[in-house]
Amino acid sequence: EVCEGQQFDMDFEKKDDISIDQYMNMISLKTAVLIGCCMRTGAIIGGASVGQANDIYEFGKNIGMVFQLQDDILDVYGDAEKFGKQVGGDIVANKKTYLLLKAFECAEKKQFDSLKELLEDRSIKLANDEKVKKVTEIYDELGVRELAELEMEKYYSKAIEKIDHMGMKNTDSIVEYANKLSLRQH
């Protein structure tokens, strides 16, 4: 599944007609199932029941979705020194992210056309930092960061529900893990 998700990610770079549902499926396969699988493996090694192992897998998948959405946000709005990557790298590379796809979904015609033009400009006419600035301005106008954060909250809530469902006595460390992933700045 992880390889399939990575292939989708690479394929999406060459396509213009990616839906948010397709993107969410891709990050589920690329990132979320990996975290879920690691969590399930730890649960099994720790003696969890099949039901608990399945719940912890679902917890991990949901936190994986939070992690990837936060990654999309940090790519645009993060501090390069803390993030460890070039801010705006996904914009420069024309990667289909939640923010970009949501911007296309919410955009008025003028904003939609501007985004299209910025993505199609493969010449050196526009410096990378100028492209990042212009795309980010459109994101800000449309409030896509806040929409991505709302989506993160949905997945975070689903993750915490899975932990609550397990009926474990001491969940502080796993909730702390979820918080660190969702609030991370790098």
With b for 16 or more beta-carbon neighbours within 10 A and e for fewer, the 47-72 pattern comes to ebeeebbbbbbbbbbbbbbbbbbbbb
Instruction: Give the pTM.
Output: 0.86
Confidence (pLDDT) at 62: 96
The CATH T-level fold of domain 2-183 is: Farnesyl Diphosphate Synthase (1.10.600)
Q: What is the pLDDT of residues 34-85, one digit of tens each?
A: 999 999 999 899 998 999 899 999 999 999 999 999 999 999 998 877 766 7
Q: What is the pLDDT of residues 98-154, one digit of tens each?
A: 999 999 999 999 999 999 999 887 665 567 888 999 999 999 999 999 999 999 999
Q: What is the pLDDT of residues 136-146, one digit of tens each?
A: 999 999 999 99
* Domain residue extents for the chain: 2-183
Q: How far apart are CA 31 and CA 35, in angstroms?
A: 7
- CB 36, CB 64: distance < 8 Å: yes
